[in-house]
Amino acid sequence: MARTKDSASAPKEPGRLKQMWQVFQMTRRYDTTAPWLMLLGFLAPVAVALALALWLSSGNGLTITLWVVAGVLAGLLIAMIILGRRAERAAYSQIDGQPGAVGAVLRGGLRGGWMGNEMPVAVNGKTQDAVYRAVGRGGVVLISEGPASRTRRMLEDEQRKVARVLPNVPITLLSVGHDEGDVALHRLAATLRKTKRTLTKPEVLAVSNRLNSLQSSLPIPKGIDPMKARPQRGRMR
C-alpha cells in the first residue's frame, strides 16, 4: 500500500514533446539565432521539395503531395538536428570558464571512440588550473583548463610523463579558452574527432588501461593536501 502511494506521489516525467519544448526554450534564452536557423533549416527542404514537385509531377496531385510531405519530414529532421547542436552549445556556454567545464565535456560529450575522465590528471590548487586527458584513435590528448600562459608548463610536465610510459603513442596538447590558438569549449569534442587517426580500437583500449593503471601511482598534484581536503558545501541562497 505504501509502495502504491509512493509511486502515485512521485513526480511524473515530462513527455518527449514537453522535453523538446523545454530544450527549445532554454536554447532560445541563450542563443537568439537558434530559432531563425531552425526555421531556415525547416523551410529550405520544403521549398526544394515543392519546386521539384512542380517540375517533375506533371500536375499529378498525389505526386505533389508526396513531395511536399517528404520535404516537411526532411525539414523537421534538419530543424531537430540544428536544435540539438545549438542546445549543446548553449549548455556549454553556461559552464564555460568555470573549473571542471572541460571535465563535463569529457564525461558526456565525447563520441567516435574517444574516452575521457571528468577528473583532471593535474591541478594547481591555488589557481584551479587543471590538465585533463583523453584517449582515442588520435592517440593521447592533454587538455588544459585555464590561461595558456599558466598551464603550458603543466601540459609539458604531463606530456613527459605520458611519453615515458608510451613512447610510441602520439601526444597532442590543447588549451581550452578564448585566447588566440585556444579551443572553444563547445568545439572541444569536434576538435578531438578531427585528430589524425593513428591507433586501432584495441590499441586505444590498451593505452587507456595502461594510463589508468599508472594513475594511482602518480604523485598528488601540487597544491592539494589530502589530509586537509574537505567537501564543499552548497551556499544558501
Number of H helices, E strands in the chain: 8, 5
The helix, strand and coil proportions of the chain, stated in percent and rounded to the nearest 5, come to 55, 10, 35
Residue 223 has pLDDT above 60, yes or no: no
Q: What is the percent of the chain with per-residue pLDDT over 70, rounded to a whole number?
A: 84
Q: What CA–CA distance (Å, rounded) separates 55 from 217?
A: 70
Predicted local distance difference test score (pLDDT) of residue 216? 52
Q: What is the percent of the chain with per-residue pLDDT over 90, rounded to a whole number?
A: 22
Question: CB-based contacts of 67: which residues, under 8 Å, 6+ apart?
Answer: 49, 50, 52, 53, 56, 57
Residue 210 has pLDDT above 80, yes or no: yes
Residue 188 has pLDDT above 70, yes or no: yes
Band of pLDDT at residue 54, cut at 50, 70 and 90: confident
Query: For 160-177, what is the mean pLDDT?
Result: 90
Query: For 141-163, what is the mean pLDDT?
Result: 90
Residue 61 has pLDDT above 70, yes or no: yes
Predicted local distance difference test score (pLDDT) of residue 48? 92
Predicted local distance difference test score (pLDDT) of residue 12? 59
Predicted local distance difference test score (pLDDT) of residue 220? 43
Query: For 101-108, what is the mean pLDDT?
Result: 83
pTM beyond 0.85: the answer is no
Q: What CA–CA distance (Å, rounded) separates 135 from 116?
A: 6
